[in-house]
Amino acid sequence: MPSFQLCLSILETTSQIGMVRSTNESSLTGFILLGFSDYPQLQKALFIIILILYLLTILGNTTIILISRLEPKLHMPMYYFLSHLSFLDLCFTSSVIPQLLVNLRDSMKMITYGGCIVQLYVSLALGSTECVLLTVMSYDRYVAVCRPLRYTVLMHPHLCMILASMAWLSGMATSLVQSSLTLQLPFCGHHQVDHFICEVPVLIKLACVDTTFNEVGLFVASVLFLVVPVSFILVSYGYIVQAILMIKSACGRQKAFGTCSSHLLVVIIFYGTIIFIYLQPSKSKYKDQGKFVSLFYTVVTPMLNPLIYTLRNKEFKRALKKILGNILCITFT
């Protein structure tokens, strides 16, 4: 009997070691980002389109940052926050798109475990930061329209710096918590991710244990960074619309609406796609469309932001023409 119990003990120990090895297999070999493998005929076209959009994103957002810094007339809270938004978009796309482009051309579609961790933390931190930053920008627009005479007093540089810092710190904090909870899950050797990016919802699906706690934590974080900011933005724009309707001149109403329309359009596009991904029921019939929706907010939206703000902003267009004119004068003289 003792020998039989010893054999059973050895078998149990061996089984546990096998489970640990299987669990740690993902950390040793990394993950396979399946991406758009189900649509092989689209991959070449997607590679070209995404590469072009990525280059336009870099060009557009870099232009906004440089013009906002070089033109003294744009040293205002609106362009200060816009520069942060452009920097966020540059970092966010750079954490996702290069790996996506490689996987679209590579049949293996591998990403190392370390690369997945970095992508998970950075993309979640920047996405959460953008949620808060867009809310801060709505407050800036509220003060500009509803409290125009006190705008410079209320939106002083020190407050702007504090608000921007709060956005960055809150995004990093929630990313640290959510990423840590996700990476503690045992993946049991299954390392095929049915996505093109390491995101919390898709990694949770790989776990071979009950993930109720993680799903609840993700839902709470989604409410804090999606529902609460959207509610604040809607309230802000409710007051903004009320103030605009009280303006008697049509020219004044048009000018006031012009200061807010660009931000409102960005908010609709960004939050619409993010909410589709993070606030759907886990068994929603639209979950299979998640990759294409994620493609929109990771690739298309960061490219659209500079176009939306520059094409609808006369001050920025004047500053851009002025700086380009000065560069041309210096070049040809």
Domain ranges of the chain: 27-326
How far apart CA 213 and CA 161 sit, in angstroms, is 35
Task: List, in order, residues 6 or more apart from 137 with CB less than 8 Å away.
Answer: 78, 81, 82, 85, 263
pLDDT of residue 287: 52
Residue reference for tokens 């660009």: 262
Burial class (CB in 10 A: 0-12, 13-18, 19+), 286: exposed
pLDDT of residue 52: 94
Using pLDDT thresholds of 50, 70 and 90, give the confidence band for residue 132: very high
State the helix-helix crossing angle for 77-105 and 113-146, rounded to 10 degrees.
150
pTM score: 0.83
Least confident of 84-88, 175-179, 312-316: 312-316
How far apart CA 33 and CA 99 sit, in angstroms, is 10
Beta carbons of 161 and 122 less than 8 angstroms apart = no
What Rg do the C-alpha atoms of the chain give, in angstroms? Answer: 24
User: Nearest to residue 22, comparing CAs of 182, 184, 191, 179?
Assistant: 191
How far apart CA 124 and CA 129 sit, in angstroms, is 8
User: Nearest to residue 309, comparing CAs of 269, 251, 275?
Assistant: 269
Residue 15: pLDDT over 60: no
How far apart CA 159 and CA 167 sit, in angstroms, is 12
pLDDT of residue 1: 43
pLDDT of residue 252: 72
Highest mean pLDDT among 5-14, 126-135, 197-206: 126-135
Beta carbons of 97 and 149 less than 8 angstroms apart = no
pLDDT of residue 288: 53
pLDDT digits (tens, 9 = 90+) for 27-71: 446 788 888 887 788 888 989 999 999 999 999 999 999 988 888
Residue 311: pLDDT over 80: no
How far apart CA 143 and CA 78 sit, in angstroms, is 11
Least confident of 37-41, 115-119, 128-132, 161-165: 37-41
Using pLDDT thresholds of 50, 70 and 90, give the confidence band for residue 85: very high
Residue 80: pLDDT over 90: yes
Read off the pLDDT of each residue in 253-269 and give the average, rounded to a whole number: 78
Looking at the domain that runs over 27-326, which CATH code has it been given? Answer: 1.20.1070.10
Residue 23: pLDDT over 70: no
How far apart CA 228 and CA 233 sit, in angstroms, is 9
DSSP assignment of 90-116, as one string?
Answer: HHHHHHHHHHHHHHHH-SS-EE-HHHH
pLDDT digits (tens, 9 = 90+) for 133-169: 999 999 998 998 888 888 888 899 999 999 999 999 9
pLDDT digits (tens, 9 = 90+) for 266-275: 888 888 888 8
The terminus-to-terminus CA distance of the chain in angstroms comes to 98
Beta carbons of 152 and 78 less than 8 angstroms apart = no
Structure tokens, 114 = 């370390």
Residue 290: pLDDT over 80: no
CA angle 157–161–166, rounded 5-degree value: 150
Report the share of the chain in percent with pLDDT over 90: 27
For residue 134, give Cα distances in angstroms to 90, 219, 259: 16, 20, 14
For residue 184, give Cα distances in angstroms to 208, 212, 287: 12, 14, 24
Residue 245: pLDDT over 50: yes
Read off the pLDDT of each residue in 97-112 and give the average, rounded to a whole number: 86
Q: Among positive and negative, which fits the CA dihedral 10, 13, 19, 21? A: negative
- SS3 state at 193: strand
pLDDT of residue 11: 35
How far apart CA 154 and CA 148 sit, in angstroms, is 10
